[in-house]
A = this chain, B = another copy of it.
Amino acid sequence: MEIKDIELRAIHQEPEKYADREITVRGWVRQNRSSNKFGFIALNDGSFFKPVQVVYEADAIDNYGEIAGLALSSAVRVTGTLVLTPEAKQPFEVHAKEIVVEGPSDPDYPLQNKRHSMEFLREIAHLRPRSNTFQAVFRVRSLVAYAIHQFFQERNFVYVHTPLITASDAEGAGEMFQVTTLDLDNPPRTEDGAVDYSRDFFGKKANLTVSGQLEGEIFAHAFRNIYTFGPTFRAEDSNTTRHASEFWMIEPEMAFADLNDMMDVAEDMVKYILNYVMEKAPEEMAFFNKFIDKGLLDRLHHVVNSDFQRVTYTEAVELLEKSGADFQYPVYWGVDLATEHERYLTEQIFKKPIFVTDYPKEIKAFYMRANEDGKTVAACDMLVPGIGEIIGGSQREERYDVLKERIRELGMDEADYWWYLELRKYGGVTHSGFGLGFERMIMYATGMGNIRDVLPFPRTPKNAEF
């Protein structure tokens, strides 16, 4: 591939290669300072986290006045010589011979070089990717996505696109958005006055998916190891720093794998992601460590070097009860652990990531495999310091009769699960899987505190701008 000019990344990676040579680069003005004789532009083209310093002199370029007056975010083409400056703060700079303004910027550019609140930056989501923080966030987001694909593809997992629009409410994991082409002002109605969904686009009521897991199980019974990576939706009217209405999920599913096998894969995946991003984005990670979350790199290094502990829910509850800690919510066998409990376990008791396994069946989903004790299921949550739960998984109930009975017991409609049950009828096997909320992983890897700031264009209640 030939892309004209040199990306600034190339210079950062091999400055010696371009030393004392004439180069042409393009980018946007991030800073511009000048006296009446010379000036400096911090130039960034988005290909690398750090800018390149361009030095321009009144004696060297024709349009000194124009350049000295350039507004932030103006786009320029610079021709000049790359000079190594090993004693200076930046190890090289470009001495300009010519600077051409390719795209001027207006002086009212909203993203001036001062601290802006995260709230304000969300309002200018079309410009915030140009700021340091969001350059770092969205490059890391891209790298983590790729690390996940690479991890699974190296292991021969098949990537499956499970459907987004679904006519079943099979998992029941959350409130759903309805998808329709009916005219809401005047929808067709049946004789008894109800909306006639037989005339909707799909011939029945349709929604946006809350999980691709059940369809993922279909593919695990064909390809052994598969993963999904796609968007997921929740129509919950909750305004928290951890919830968005549209987010991305990774849901691997493995046939011939029990809960322990699944935990091995989940642990390896988390370590792989964190190692990848620390290796591929050292500048961005140093930025987060300095400006966003001071303990970040220590914490991540500790995670990749730890053997994750495995503890049963029953043991975990005992440890919490014995701890004497003063929790806001009481802890006892049967309770759904709150974030404070999860964080106490991973941060105070074990001081490293842990898997809590074998939860009471009443607080877990219908498809999780029943344990012999009759009280618990083969589920697990991965808890990490600083955040709590980051992954939830389970061994799936592969026994046709047990699954069918559980569906009935919970008052669910067996007919909705005809194909899910048939997986157990035609060669169903031990299988397990887990779900990773992609944004939660990005928050964990960057230290960013609000899910709205790791999504390019977050969707939350009353907000679908851009």
Nearest B residue (CB) for A223: B46
- Pairwise interchain contact B177-A179, C-beta atoms closer than 8 A: yes
Nearest B residue (CB) for A178: B180
**A185 to B180, alpha carbons, bound, how many Å?**
13
Nearest B residue (CB) for A227: B142
- Pairwise interchain contact B464-A167, C-beta atoms closer than 8 A: yes
Contact of A102 among B29, B424, B429 (CB under 8 A): B429
A160-179 interface (Cβ within 8 A of B):
160-168, 175, 177-179
Q: Is A26 an interface residue (CB 8 A)?
A: yes
Range for the number of chain A residues in contact with chain B: 35 or more
- Pairwise interchain contact A427-B223, C-beta atoms closer than 8 A: no
Nearest B residue (CB) for A463: B202
Nearest B residue (CB) for A218: B126
Using Cβ atoms and an 8 Å threshold, which residues of chain B touch A254? 3
Chain A 173-207 per-residue mask, 1 if CB under 8 angstroms from chain B, else 0:
00101111110110100000011000001111010
- Pairwise interchain contact B165-A142, C-beta atoms closer than 8 A: no
A455-B161 contact, Cβ under 8 Å, with A104-B427, A179-B178: yes
CB distance from A245 to the nearest CB of B (A): 7
Using Cβ atoms and an 8 Å threshold, which residues of chain B touch A466? 163, 168, 215, 218, 419
Q: Is A39 an interface residue (CB 8 A)?
A: no
Chain A 281-322 per-residue mask, 1 if CB under 8 angstroms from chain B, else 0:
000000000000000000000000000000000000000000
- Pairwise interchain contact A165-B459, C-beta atoms closer than 8 A: yes
- Pairwise interchain contact A231-B164, C-beta atoms closer than 8 A: yes
Q: Is A129 an interface residue (CB 8 A)?
A: yes
- Pairwise interchain contact B28-A427, C-beta atoms closer than 8 A: yes
- Pairwise interchain contact B159-A248, C-beta atoms closer than 8 A: no
Using Cβ atoms and an 8 Å threshold, which residues of chain B touch A166? 464
Q: What would be 18 A-B contacts, judged by CB atoms less than 8 Å apart?
A: A1-B268, A4-B256, A7-B156, A45-B224, A46-B221, A46-B223, A46-B255, A103-B424, A103-B427, A134-B222, A145-B159, A146-B159, A161-B248, A163-B246, A164-B231, A164-B246, A165-B464, A179-B179
